[in-house]
């Protein structure tokens, strides 16, 4: 059984989550509940659950306060964290950059199933530390553009500078990242997800299969149907509808 802790200051929402978990995730056992930062910290330390379903806004602080204080005390976090939140755009973006799971209120059963499946596949030890730390860094600074991104693979979480990503390539439902001074890394998410995440960071989708960091674009060659030459010497096709857009970008650079 996977042990779980619910931390939310709304008793109705905790009861709703309990009902969902009993119905859709019977192999998750709820071992405790908490309704505040103080109670949440004590519950995590006492129960040492495998997973914590954590609301962001609590009466005496935030879910981020809980993580920060637990990590200050223990030096790491030994449980999987799933945030539960209303649609707070900045927080959701921070979760995505940090490769952390989240559920939007009201919780959708399908989303819950997807998160539970991921928990079952990835639950292990204290591998949350690096990207939890990245999340707290981003949340506290409240910057418009995040400088680092966490990429989750089968062997763990990897942190990279966004500015070091040369390009991303679609491989069915996976995305291959080509990163400066690193081997390519394959992530189990679609290119569309990273296009949404990186479009404000100087990245441009030039083809169905290619998302590039414009900082590494060396040249645009018009012959042979048109293609982009990148700093890693890759030659990437440019879709017909993207050619005009890319030429406009190049003129303004």
Taking residues 36-45, report their average pLDDT: 96
Q: Whole-model pTM?
A: 0.85
Residue predicted with more confidence, 144 or 218: 218
Three-class SS string for the chain?
CEEEEEECCCHHHHHHHHHHHHHHCCCEEEEEEECCHHHHHHHHHHHCCCEEEEECEECCEEHHHHHHHHHHHHCCCCCEEEEEECCCHHHHHHHHHCCCEEEECCCCHHHHHHHHHHHHHHCCCCCCHHHHHHHHHHHHHCCCCCCEEEEEECCEEEEEEHHHEEEEEEECCEEEEEECCCCCEEECCCHHHHHHHHHHHCEEEEECCEEEEHHHEEEEECCCCCEEEECCCCEEECCHHHHHHHHHHHHHC
Contact 82, 103 (CB under 8 A): yes
Model pLDDT, residue 250: 80
For the chain, give the mean pLDDT. Answer: 89
Cα 190 to Cα 174: distance, rounded to the nearest angstrom: 5
Residue 19 to residue 79: CA distance in whole angstroms? 22
Cα 143 from Cα 134, distance rounded (Å): 13
86-89 CB contacts, 8 Å cutoff, 24+ apart: 88/56
Backbone angles phi, psi at 73, to 5 degrees: -75, -45
Residue 81 has pLDDT above 90, yes or no: yes
Stretch 51-75: mean pLDDT, rounded? 91
pLDDT at 127 over 70: no
Q: Is the pLDDT of residue 38 over 90?
A: yes
Q: Please say if the pLDDT value at position 91 is more than 90.
A: no
For the chain, what percent of residues have pLDDT higher than 70? Answer: 96
Q: What is the pLDDT of residue 125?
A: 47
Least confident of 60-64, 183-187, 214-218, 246-250: 246-250
Q: Average pLDDT for residues 214-227, to the nearest whole number?
A: 90
> Of 103, 97, 101, which Cα lies nearest the Cα of 139?
97
What is the distance between the alpha carbons of residues 25 and 18, in angstroms, rounded to a whole number? 10
Which pLDDT score is estimated for 124? 53
Residue 126 has pLDDT above 50, yes or no: no
- Whether the Cβ atoms of residue 55 and residue 61 lie closer than 8 Å to each other: no
Over 80: is that where the pLDDT of 46 sits? yes
User: Which range is most confident: 45-49, 74-78, 220-224?
Assistant: 45-49
pLDDT value, residue 128: 54
Structure tokens at 20: 């969902």
Q: pLDDT tens across 137-195, in order?
A: 888 777 668 899 999 888 888 999 999 999 999 999 999 999 999 999 999 999 999 99
């Amino acid at each position: 059984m996977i042990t779980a802790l619910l931390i939310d200051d709304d008793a109705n929402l905790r009861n709703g989550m309990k009902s969902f978990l009993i119905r859709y995730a019977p192999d998750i056992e709820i071992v405790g509940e908490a309704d505040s930062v103080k109670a949440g910290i004590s519950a995590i330390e006492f129960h040492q659950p495998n997973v914590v379903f954590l609301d962001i806004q609590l009466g005496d602080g935030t879910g981020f306060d809980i993580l920060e204080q637990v990590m200050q005390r223990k030096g790491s976090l030994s449980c999987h964290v799933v945030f539960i939140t209303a649609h707070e755009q900045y927080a959701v973006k921070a979760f995505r950059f940090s490769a952390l799971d989240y559920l939007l209120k009201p919780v959708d059963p399908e989303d819950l199933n997807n998160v539970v499946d991921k928990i079952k596949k990835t639950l292990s030890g204290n591998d949350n530390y690096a990207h939890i730390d990245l999340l707290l860094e981003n949340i506290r600074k409240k910057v418009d553009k995040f400088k680092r991104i966490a990429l989750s693979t089968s062997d763990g979480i990897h942190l990279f500078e966004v500015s070091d990503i040369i390009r991303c390539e679609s491989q069915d439902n996976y995305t291959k990242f080509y990163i400066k001074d690193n081997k390519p890394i394959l992530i189990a998410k679609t290119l569309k997800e990273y296009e949404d995440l990186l479009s404000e960071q100087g990245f441009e989708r030039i083809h169905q299969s290619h998302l590039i960091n414009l900082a590494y674009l060396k040249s645009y060659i018009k012959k042979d149907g048109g293609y982009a030459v990148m700093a890693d010497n890759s030659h990437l096709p440019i879709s017909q509808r993207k050619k005009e857009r890319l030429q406009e970008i190049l003129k303004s650079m």
